[in-house]
Structure 1
Amino acid sequence: MDATFPIAAIAAKKVRFQSLFENSPELIIYQNEAGTILDANPAFLSLVEQSKQQVLYRNYHEFLPPEVQELFRQKLREAFATGQPVRFGMFAAQGHSAPRHWDVVKVPLVENSQVVGVHMLARDITEKVKSQEEMFRQNRDLQQFTCIVSHNLRAPLSNALGLVELLGTEESDSAYFQETHAHLQGNLQHLDQVLRDMNTILALRDQQGLNAPEAVLLADVVQQVVQGLQNLVAQAGGTNEVHIPEGFLVHTNRAYLHSIFFSLLSNAIKYRAEERPLHVVITATENPAAGKTIVVADNGLGFDQERAGANVFQLYRRFHPHHAGRGVELYLVKSHIESMGGRIEVRSQVDEGTRFFIYLP
């Protein structure tokens, strides 16, 4: 019994490991010091869409994009050198898969005080990372709303309360009463507008994710916006130039896409330079690795980007006080684009114009 017990224990341990290896949803491969794959579990084979016979004895780097291959070489060398598990994160594709966020651990296999191989375990944490990014965005928005409440709401409310007190000391038929009443009305209208803006923004947040994205022809949406604003462009003596490849598709909500271009073109008209005819150019390109890039460029007033800093898309951020506006449109544009999984950047110079770069997956 004593002689057979270790053998039975070893066999049971091997069965447990093999069950974990075969059934784990995490990617597991076994490598030698050169990075050659000596074994791979079904989860890895499913991801790279190849059989075990096609994978074994190939270098793992063949399944990685060039930008992360050196990282994996370093971590493999570290695991062999130290004999200790090495953990790191990366964002990359594997095989033909889409890029994902991975939590990777290199676990050395030690026999007789010698590292004979390394098991690599990779766990897909994409959804976790997205949730963390969403929490960060919500916290940032909460801070911005706090600023709105403390400034944009508190200021007109305080003014209104003070004006109400003044009205109580004046005769209703006096000129000062009428002037104070007009100021009170203006402050209350300002307060009402801020509340309406906040309601619009909160409603937008609530609606995100409710409308299923669809394949939308970008040229069709842009053409609708251009035609809708054609009279205003003509009155400004301006022209539009659109360069969008035939069949260029964007997977999104059509209403969001229309709102984005309507806001950007409306801003181009509003902040045009009087010294020259308005000219707006819209281009779209696609790169299999980098995704879709849409550029909306105008030759209008522009703004001092260095002075504006990183808050170009901040709520109530304005750069031309002598023009009517509330500083809400660009904030909503950014919100729409982020709900589509994209991002927006801007480059501008005073009296030269502005270019908006929209990056979509």
Structure 2
Amino acid sequence: MIAYAEMNENFLSIIEKCNDLIFFTKKNGDFIHVTTAAEQLFGFSNDEFLQTNITDHIHPEDLSNVRERFHLLLSSPGSTVNLKLRNRTSHGEYLWIEGTATNMLDDSMQALMIRFNDITERINSENEQTLLIQEFTKRNQDLNQFVYIISHNLRTPLANLIGLINILEIDLLDDYNKGIVDLFKCSTDRLSETVFDLTHILTLKDNQGVKVTKVNVQKIFEKVCHSFNEQIKQLGVILTSNFDCNHILFNKSYLESILMNLLSNAIKYRLHSRQLEIKVSLTRDEQNTCTLTFSDNGMGIDMKSNKDKLFGLHQRFHNHITGNGVGLFITKSQITSLGGSIDVTSKVNHGTTFIITFRGEALNLLNQIRQPAQQ
């Protein structure tokens, strides 16, 4: 032991000055020297370490892996292996350490050198994050199940109520009872919308089964406009569309829902003092990015006050008009769930513009689909 210390006095002096955490052991794992920094970390003196073997300090659950690593280390002089294990302190606690073990048995050190860092804080933080994620996932699953049960159990009795209202012979009722039936119908319609929204939101949160196909945006827009045909005619809505490119890779139902929500909002939140104008365009830039722009000249939104709440659930910005504040939440969820993005510019009494950008990877894939068809 004395000869070892004298032979390597200069080397050990340098190591100590570096304040590194290092163990030096014999081939069989008996300690030869432990740096002062390691003594302070684990609470054992160098002399106490020298009376033990490294395996005396390692957590029982980590011993098997450490032995395998040491077997690999000893099989090749001069080699280095990575280590990650729990090492015992003088108080009986275990600290996580991570580092490298180097085989120096054939040089002047005649030892195995284990240089490491204390990673206990990092491991504890990672464990806390894992537990939080697990708890959040469990709560999220419970919430989804709750929403599913509520929406599923309400659908059948609600459909029965709506059916009974529809078969009522309203003309046989007096004005008082007609008013009650109208209020009852209004309430069931609102409840039906809420159940539909709950189901829709739940579906959005699990989009693994969403089918992405080549979609003709112009045809979808024409279909949506047809659904509002009577309102468009009665209000004299001026519709202008320009589709530089017609196709994108997206979910057909999602795109129809998005355009339906945007058109519905444009009509609902129009300014009665002027004719409603709606402009829709689809363009593709040099980077092959496709952008859908939907603008109107309606009431607009105060962006200074409402920008951060615009796509929130149950957020409304014109309280004098009926609505449940779910449409824009669903619209954004549908777009972002498939890798797209949506931005809004708006000014009160001037109108609103929605800018939807579709995922670039999808457009590149679309080009690959087109090429064989052109050959």
TM interval, shorter chain, is 0.3 to 0.5
TM-score, normalising length from structure 1? 0.47
Structure 1 or 2, whichever has the larger Rg, is: 2
TM-score, normalising length from structure 2? 0.46
